[in-house]
Amino acid sequence: MKLYITRKTGFYGMATPITILKNGKKWFAIGNNSTKTVEVLENELDLQVSFYLLKSEPFHLKNDGLDKELKITMNPMLVGNYLIFFVLMLLIPATRMPLIAILLFLVLYFVFLITSLKKAYVIKEKSNGT
C-alpha cells in the first residue's frame, strides 16, 4: 500500500523537519506543509512522530492494500493550553502574586509540559478531504 503523509503543524517547529518512526525505528523526516509518499510492505505497523522530546501517540495501521492518506498536526489542546499558560505567566507581575503562588503555578506549568510531551502531535487518517 502507498501512504501519503502530510505534515501541517503550523508555526511550532516549522523550520525543522520532524522524524517519522516506523515500529519504533527512524523511517524518514518530513518538513512543514509537505507531503511524502512511501510504500508499505508490512502487514501491520505502528507510526509515531518525534521531534526531540515531543512525540505523538503510536498510530496503528493495517495494510489492507488500499492507499491511505495521513495528516500530522499539532495537538490543538496542547497549543491552546500552552497559550493560556503563557498569557497567565505574562500577567504574574501585574497581579502581584505571592511567591508561593508563583512557585505553585510554575510547578503546574512543568507538570503540564511533561504530561504533554508524548501527545504533542496527532496522526489522523484523512477521509473525504478532511
What domains sit in the chain, N to C, each tagged with a CATH number? 2-125 (2.60.40)
pTM of the model: 0.81
Radius of gyration of the chain (CA): 18
| CA 64 – CA 43 distance, rounded (Å) | 8
- Report pLDDT digits (tens) over 52-102: 888 999 999 998 889 999 999 998 888 788 788 888 878 878 888 788 888
Cα–Cα distance between 22 and 15 in angstroms, integer?
A: 23
pLDDT surpassing 60 at residue 114: yes
